[in-house]
Every structure is written in C-alpha cells, then in structure tokens.
C-alpha cells in the first residue's frame, strides 16, 4: 500500500491545469512541426520550392521544436504519475512551463526573424560562422532560448530530486540499488514510476547541465571569438547532452505504459529484480553510449569509440526488454479492452523496439563509416519517436481526455490510427531506403534519382500529420473538461 498524499484543493487545480497546458501545447506544437517536416520532404522531392535558406531554418525549427516538445510531453506524463507517490509542487510545474514558452519565443525569433539556421545541434563553430546568412545576435538568441528551456527543466528536476530524497532517503534507494546489489529483497510496493523517474532525473540532470555548460561557452565565444573553444570537446558535450535529452523523453513517457496498461487488464505491474537491474544498467549506459555520434571523428580516443559501439548494442535493450516483455505478459489473454489509449501504448512498444534495430546497426563502426550522415539516421530516430514516443504521449492524452476511463474507439478514431500508422511506416521506410541508397541527411536539394523517395516520404508524412491532427482535435475538444483528480493516489 502506498500512503495517500493529501494535496490541497488549490494544488490539485493548479496541477490539473498544468498537465493540460503541457499536453495541449505539446499536441499543437507537434502538429506544426510535423507540417515543417512534410515541408522539408516535399522540398527535397521538388513538390515545392522553398530555397536552401528557408529549408535550413525549417530544419532547425523542426529539430529544436520536436526535441523540446518531446521533453515537455514526456515530462507531463512522468510528472502526472510521479505526483501520486511524492509530493510535487505544481508551482514548479508552471515555472518550467512559463520558462519553456519564453525559450520558444526566443528560438522562433532567432530562426524566423534572425534567420538562424544552424540546426538544433548548434555545432561549433557553425553558429559563429554563418558566412553572413545570420548574425551573431541571432545565434546568441537561439542559444539563449535553449539555455532557458534547459534551466526550466533543471528547476523541475530539482523539485523532483528533493522530494525523492525526502521520501526514499537517497536516489540509490529510489532507483532500487539495494536490490541490485543484493542488500535488500524486492519490495513489490515500490512503484515502477519512481524507478523510472529516478533514472530520468539522474541522467537528464547531468545531460542538461552539460548542455548548459556548452551553451554558455559557445555564447561567450560568439562575442569573444579570440576565446577559441576546442571543437572536439564541444562536440562531445553537445552530443552527450542531445543524446541523453532525447532518450530521457522516452524513459519519462514509458511510465504511461507501466501505469495504464495494468488499469486496462486488471493485472498489476510490479517491480522485479530484472526490472531494477534494467533501469540501473540503463542509468549508466545511456550516458556512456553517446560517442556513437562521433564514430567518424578519428581524433577521438579509440577506447571511447569502442565503448560507444559496444554499449550501444546493450544500452537500450534492458529497459526495452523488461518493458516490452512486461507489456506483452500483461496484455496476453487478459481480455484487454482496445481503445485509442491501449492501442497506442502497445504500438509504442513496437515503435520503440523497431527503432532500436536500425540504431544498433548504425552504431557499428564499419557500418557507420558508410551510413553516417545519411538518411538512415533520421530513419531510425523517427521510428522510435513517431511510433514509440508519440504514441505514449497520445495514449496518455486520450486516457485523460476520456476522463481516466477506457473509451470506445469510434470509426474516426480507428481511421486516424490506421492513417497515422501507415503514414509513419511509409515515412520511416522512405528515410531508411534513402539511407541505404547513401542519400545524405540535411541536404536541402536532392539529386533527381533520390527524389521519388522524398516524394513518397512527403505523402507518408502528410498521412502522419492528418492522423495526428484528428487525435489532436479530439483531445483539444475533450481535454479541457477532463477531470484529472485521479492525479491523487487511489491505490487499490
Ligand atoms: C509528420 C511527421 C514528420 C515528418 C514528415 C518529419 C520529417 C523530417 C525531415 C524531412 C527531416 C530532415 C531530414 C534530412 O536530414 O534531410 C527531419 C529531421 C528531424 N526530425 Fe522529423 N519528421 C516528422 C516527425 C518528427 C517527430 C515526431 C520528431 C520528434 C519527436 C522529429 C524529430 C526530428 C529531428 C530531431 C530531426 C533532425 C533535425 C536535424 O537534422 O537537425 N520528427 N524530420
Ligand atoms: Cu545517441
């Protein structure tokens, strides 16, 4: 039994409004950014002509917008469930939201007014050396926007960290390390969400802190170009931050699977030894594998690249395995009721697992020599983002919108699901096929022989957008009225 946390009426109201604000913002921004994605694929396929400058602006806004919003949406899921177990502050939830919005305004301004187009990865020294395409000020505003967004998340994590330590004594206990080291037996009442939250807190705090350091260094360099930075060090810090941040979005949102699938099947999802091992291992590995982004950098110390390659084979696997296995076991012969939420949650298992396969292939040095910077890379990450992460968030949204009840999947909902799924597979396969064909990524203009894949990708991407818009419209209509008092613990 988990004891109940008694939140005040006002706390609950603020939390409920906050979760809705996060989710509605996420759905709207995701839709807009999908439009940006379709625009890029359409431009590469010569359906439309937008010019290289605008293409790279769109690519920058799509990358930064999607990654930031993935963070926002994933956090909403994690925070909602975590609040049942530890006393979280709704004010801090709102502080993060307001800071996020200010960051978004800065980033949009830098891109569409200031013409910044150096990609969300702001790789040094590109932002400083635009050859006159954008000004130093635009680059600075973009980085300031990212820095602000990171700061907001750090504040939110601080609240989570303090409350976890308050309740469990230290983060090791919250993560279940005493069980991992054989010092304590498994406590079946220890919530899965707490384990996931602790892992996310540890890795993302370190990741964002690294991001903040590198952003400050780059900002300084923009105005003091004589203060030269070590490009290799900066690249390491940026990819450490980027890799950890985007991975943490999935590790946050997966709590929807742990918390909601049991509601559908009446079978509880309890922690177990493999569960603890997996999350403890992932806490270390997700941070240690980032060198797989630098396999082409021959100046990197070889041992780091070896770690990057070998750990990449293992990194995602443990948590994915316990989660996918757990999900299948919970669903198998349970007589589960299929609605949008449960279908999306199961789909997310497929998308996550599927996306890992091309990722592992690419993390092999000999393959990476050929595949690096080809469309293979967007192929793998769109796989687990569009079919893994987003379904977790959509599923969670529709669960709340249906007032925390399983809801009937209407004909329109089913059609939207099919459109989204088929479109996503098309989008991903055309990316992967382009990659297998050695089509480079991040190119505004494609050779004629590559264009048919871009065109198919644009059509498939439009289907994803249409399916997603239907989910969004349905949720936008129902979410504001949703009661989410269920936020309070009702442990049966
Ligand atoms: C309708 C759905 C989508 C479409 C059509 C789409 C399309 C694209 C295209 C065409 C690119 C550039 C590929 C290139 O390098 O030439 C791209 C990059 C990217 N996309 Fe998407 N995308 C979609 C959804 C998403 C989602 C849901 C996310 C994340 C949650 C996402 C995250 C990214 C990221 C991080 C990049 C890398 C940007 C860069 O290289 O700087 N995309 N996408
Ligand atoms: Cu990575």
What is the structure's pLDDT at 204?
A: 98
Is 140:219 a contact under the CB 8 Å cutoff?
Answer: yes
120 lines ligand 1 (CB under 6 A): yes
**Spatial distance between the Cα atoms of 482 and 157, rounded to a whole number of angstroms:** 26
Q: In this predicted model, what pLDDT tens digit does every residue of 236-268 receive, in sequence order?
A: 999 999 999 999 999 999 999 999 999 989 899
Which distant-in-sequence residues (6+ apart) come within 8 Å of 382 by Cβ?
Answer: 355, 424, 427, 428, 431
43 lines ligand 1 (CB under 6 A): no
Show the CA angle centred on residue 31, arms to residues 30 and 35, nearest 5°: 115
Query: What percent of the chain has pLDDT above 90?
Result: 80
Classify 440 as helix, strand or coil.
strand
Q: In this predicted model, what pLDDT tens digit does every residue of 289-347 receive, in sequence order?
A: 999 899 889 899 999 988 888 888 887 788 999 999 999 999 998 888 888 999 999 99
Q: Sign of dihedral through CA atoms 74, 75, 76, 79? A: positive
Q: What is the distance in A from the centroid of ligand 2 to the CA of 296?
A: 14
DSSP state of 443: -
Q: Whose CA is nearest to atom 8 of ligand 1?
A: 37
> Does residue 50 have a pLDDT over 90?
yes
372 lines ligand 1 (CB under 6 A): no
What is the structure's pLDDT at 475?
A: 87
Is 160:204 a contact under the CB 8 Å cutoff?
Answer: no
Q: What is the distance in A from the centroid of ligand 2 to the CA of 377?
A: 10
Q: What is the distance in A from the centroid of ligand 2 to the CA of 241?
A: 10
Structural domains in the chain, CATH included, are 9-487 (1.20.210.10)
In this prediction, residues 165-176 reach a mean pLDDT of 98
**Closest to 116 measured CA to CA, from 174, 58, 70, 199:** 58
DSSP characters for 166-185? HHHSSHHHHHTHHHHTTSS-
> Does residue 216 have a pLDDT over 60?
yes
Element (H, E) at 218: helix 192-223
Selection from 201-215, 345-359, 472-486 with the highest mean pLDDT: 201-215
Tokens 């706390």 belong to which residue?
A: 11
> Does residue 490 have a pLDDT over 80?
no
In this prediction, residues 180-197 reach a mean pLDDT of 96
Dihedral, CA of residue 426, residue 356, residue 310 and residue 365, to nearest 10: 10
Is 52:445 a contact under the CB 8 Å cutoff?
Answer: yes
DSSP state of 110: I
Write the burial class of residue 111 (CB in 10 Å: 0-12 exposed, 13-18 middle, 19+ buried): buried
Which distant-in-sequence residues (6+ apart) come within 8 Å of 480 by Cβ?
Answer: 20, 24
What is the structure's pLDDT at 307?
A: 87
In this prediction, residues 339-358 reach a mean pLDDT of 92
What is the structure's pLDDT at 223?
A: 96
**Closest to 296 measured CA to CA, from 224, 215, 390, 366:** 366
Long-range contacts of 45-53 (CB under 8 A, 24+ apart): 45/446, 45/451, 45/452, 45/453, 45/454, 45/455, 45/456, 45/457, 45/458, 46/446, 46/451, 46/454, 46/455, 47/455, 47/458, 51/444, 52/444, 52/445, 53/115, 53/117, 53/133
Q: Whose CA is nearest to atom 28 of ligand 1?
A: 66
Angle, to 10 degrees, between the axis of helix 255-265 and the axis of helix 340-362? 140
Lowest mean per-residue pLDDT among 6-15, 302-311, 482-491: 482-491
> Does residue 2 have a pLDDT over 60?
no
Which distant-in-sequence residues (6+ apart) come within 8 Å of 353 by Cβ?
Answer: 320, 324
What is the structure's pLDDT at 486?
A: 56
**Closest to 207 measured CA to CA, from 252, 168, 170, 248:** 248
Q: What is the distance in A from the centroid of ligand 1 to the CA of 330?
A: 33
Write the burial class of residue 49 (CB in 10 Å: 0-12 exposed, 13-18 middle, 19+ buried): exposed
390 lines ligand 1 (CB under 6 A): yes
In this prediction, residues 113-126 reach a mean pLDDT of 97
Counting ligands in written order, the one closest to the CA of 390 is 1
Q: Sign of dihedral through CA atoms 33, 37, 42, 43? A: positive
Which distant-in-sequence residues (6+ apart) come within 8 Å of 337 by Cβ?
Answer: 264, 406
Q: In this predicted model, what pLDDT tens digit does every residue of 15-40 receive, in sequence order?
A: 999 999 999 999 999 999 999 999 99
Q: Sign of dihedral through CA atoms 125, 130, 131, 137? A: negative
**Spatial distance between the Cα atoms of 423 and 459, rounded to a whole number of angstroms:** 8
What is the pLDDT of the chain when averaged over all its residues?
Answer: 93
**Spatial distance between the Cα atoms of 404 and 69, rounded to a whole number of angstroms:** 23
Higher pLDDT, 470 or 312: 470
Tokens 């296995």 belong to which residue?
A: 325
Higher pLDDT, 320 or 171: 171
Counting ligands in written order, the one closest to the CA of 67 is 1
Task: For residue 60, give the ligand 1 atom closest to its CA.
Answer: 41
In this prediction, residues 121-139 reach a mean pLDDT of 96
Task: For residue 460, give the ligand 1 atom closest to its CA.
Answer: 5
384 lines ligand 1 (CB under 6 A): no
Please state, as a whole number, how many other Cβ atoms lie within 10 Å of the Cβ of residue 53.
Answer: 13
């Amino acid at each position: 039994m988990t004891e109940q946390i008694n939140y005040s009426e006002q706390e609950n109201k603020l939390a409920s409004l906050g979760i809705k604000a996060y989710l509605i913002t996420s759905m709207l921004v995701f839709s807009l950014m999908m439009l940006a994605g379709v625009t890029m694929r359409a431009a590469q396929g010569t359906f439309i002509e937008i010019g290289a400058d605008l293409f790279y602006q769109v690519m920058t806004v799509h990358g930064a917008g999607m990654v930031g919003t993935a963070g926002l949406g994933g956090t909403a899921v994690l925070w909602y469930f975590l609040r049942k177990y530890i006393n979280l502050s709704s004010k801090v939830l709102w502080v993060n939201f307001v800071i996020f919005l200010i960051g978004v305004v800065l980033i949009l301004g830098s891109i569409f007014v200031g013409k910044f187009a150096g990609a969300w990865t702001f790789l040094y020294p590109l932002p400083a050396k635009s050859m006159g395409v954008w000004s130093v000020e635009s680059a600075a505003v973009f980085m300031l926007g990212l820095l602000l967004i990171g700061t907001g998340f750090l504040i939110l994590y601080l609240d989570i960290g303090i409350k976890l330590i308050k309740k469990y004594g230290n983060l090791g206990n919250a993560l279940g390390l005493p069980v991992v080291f054989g010092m304590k037996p498994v406590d079946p009442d220890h919530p899965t969400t707490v384990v996931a939250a602790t892992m996310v807190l540890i890795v993302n705090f370190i990741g964002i802190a690294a991001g903040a350091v590198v952003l400050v260094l780059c900002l300084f360099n923009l105005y003091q170009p004589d203060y030269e930075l070590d490009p290799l060090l900066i690249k390491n810090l940026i990819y450490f931050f980027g890799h950890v941040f985007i991975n943490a979005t999935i590790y946050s949102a997966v709590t929807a699977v742990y918390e909601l699938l049991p509601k559908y099947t009446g079978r509880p999802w309890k922690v177990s030894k493999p569960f603890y091992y997996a999350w403890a291992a992932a806490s270390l590995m997700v941070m240690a594998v980032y060198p797989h982004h630098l396999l082409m950098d021959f100046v990197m110390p070889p041992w780091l690249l070896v770690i990057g390659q070998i750990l990449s084979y293992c990194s995602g696997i443990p948590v994915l395995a316990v989660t996918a296995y757990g999900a299948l076991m919970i669903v198998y012969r349970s007589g589960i009721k299929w609605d949008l939420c449960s279908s999306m949650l199961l789909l997310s298992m497929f998308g996550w697992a599927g996306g890992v396969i091309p990722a592992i292939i690419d993390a092999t040095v000999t393959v990476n020599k050929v595949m690096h910077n080809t469309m293979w890379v967007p192929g793998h990450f769109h796989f687990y983002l569009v079919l893994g992460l987003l379904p977790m968030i959509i599923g969670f949204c529709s669960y709340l919108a249906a007032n925390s009840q399983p809801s009937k999947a209407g004909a329109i909902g089913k059609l939207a699901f099919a459109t989204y799924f088929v479109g996503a597979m098309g989008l991903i396969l055309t990316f992967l096929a382009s990659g297998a064909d050695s089509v480079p990524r991040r190119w505004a203009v494609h050779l004629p022989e590559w264009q048919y894949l871009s065109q198919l990708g644009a059509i498939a991407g439009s289907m994803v957008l249409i399916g997603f818009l239907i989910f969004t419209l349905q949720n936008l209509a129902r979410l504001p009225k949703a009661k989410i008092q269920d936020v309070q613990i009702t442990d049966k």
